[in-house]
Copies of this chain bind each other. A is one copy, B any other.
């Protein structure tokens, strides 16, 4: 069994946004030499997500509006208690739960085993500071094992 680890750092210029990190995951997979196995990609911070969906600008706009509705920046009745601590990001912790912390992707014949439209995104919900994404790959170096 082999394993490989890499960390990406993203300093998103703005509070919220989505970044396609598929090229970086592909690069890490090539460097790993792993041909059959699993890739874990996860946000290392708890107000951010890693998820798989479409690389379509309109959809990302829709996600932004939808998440603002499902997890608004201000609580409907009283202030979020988390924000009593001096934070202002309770909503970011909620958005991250809807979009997810991590993805696990199969590696087959040395490639991400993806359907036609699958792309890996980093979702930032409390940006303007450097945050990290972990890529961990485990598996075997033979094509068929």
Query: Which residues does A use to contact B, with CB under 8 Å?
Result: 1-3, 5, 36-38, 40, 42-46, 51-54, 56-59, 61-63, 65-66, 69-71, 75-76, 80-85, 90, 93-94, 96-106, 108, 113-118, 132, 134, 136, 138-140, 145
Contacts and interface: CB of A to CB of B under 8 A. Distances in A.
A121 to B, nearest CB: 11
B98 A1 contact: no
A97 B99 contact: yes
21 contacts: A1-B145, A3-B36, A3-B139, A3-B140, A38-B138, A43-B115, A44-B114, A45-B117, A46-B54, A46-B117, A52-B101, A59-B82, A59-B93, A62-B80, A62-B93, A98-B98, A100-B100, A101-B103, A113-B136, A115-B132, A115-B134
Secondary structure class of chain A's binding surface, majority of residues: mixed
B85 A44 contact: no
Number of copies: 3
A138 B136 contact: no
A3 B115 contact: no
The 7 closest A-B pairs by CB, nearest first: A44-B115, A58-B81, A106-B136, A59-B82, A3-B36, A58-B82, A61-B81
